[in-house]
Amino acid sequence: MTRAVAVSLIVLMATSACLAGPDSRGSKTTAGGAMSSHSQSFNPYYSRTDARKLELPDDVWKKVLSPQLYSIARHGSTEAAFTGRYWDYEGKGSYYCAACGNPLFRSDAKFATTCGWPSFFETVRPGSVTYRKDTSFGMVRSEVLCGRCGAHLGHLFDDGPPPTGKRYCMNSVSLEFEPDEAGKH
């Protein structure tokens, strides 16, 4: 029992270190934050059933999202590879937008990659995401945004596996995973 608690603490500390490491911009504001809490705990706009589009001012998003999620979702930053909680995660269930709860991907469409970010070959439905041309860093890429709230999720590439050949390369921070109920397939 005691050993299990100790191991849990070590894992928690290691996870916190990973999350805090690459996000130097957020270090000032995360000091008093609850690191383990999911974004929707403080976010009144989060809903997995309300499909209405969300158009909120930037300062509102800043208040309801964690600093790291705000930086990625509203300002397009990218988490460091291999630091997110889902890049090699294999649980069965659904992935939702961490900023607003919009259903985005099923675990059936997730595939193993070596890139260090969770990758999917298709969205759960056509309107789940929208796309925008991104010409930053001297590249032409297709930016992937949440279809409900417009949060930056990641980028779309054409080197994915069959049947679509697409690779939705996502930030773990932008996603919330919900496991399927036991016995339900």
Which are the contacts of 5, defined by CB distance < 8 A and separation ≥ 6? none
| Of the candidates 157, 183, 173, 148, the residue with the CA atom closest to the CA atom of residue 76 | 173
Could you tell me the CA-to-CA distances from 144 to 99, 132, 140 in Å, in that order?
Answer: 14, 7, 13
Instruction: Indicate if 146 belongs to the active site.
Output: no
Closest distance of CB 178 from Zn ion, Å? 15
Helix (H) or strand (E) segment spanning residue 94 = strand 93-97
Residue (100 or 156) nearer to Zn ion, CB: 100
C-beta closer to Zn ion: residue 99 or 109: 99
Nearer of residues 106 and 161 to Zn ion, judged by Cβ: 106
Q: Least distance (Å) from Zn ion to the CB of residue 159?
A: 25
Residues in contact with Zn ion by CB under 5 A are: 97, 99-100, 102, 146, 148-149, 151
Q: Which two tokens stand for residue 41?
A: 């705990």
User: Rounded to the nearest whole angstrom, what is the least distance from the CB of residue 59 to Zn ion in the complex?
Assistant: 18
Q: Which residues are catalytic?
A: 169
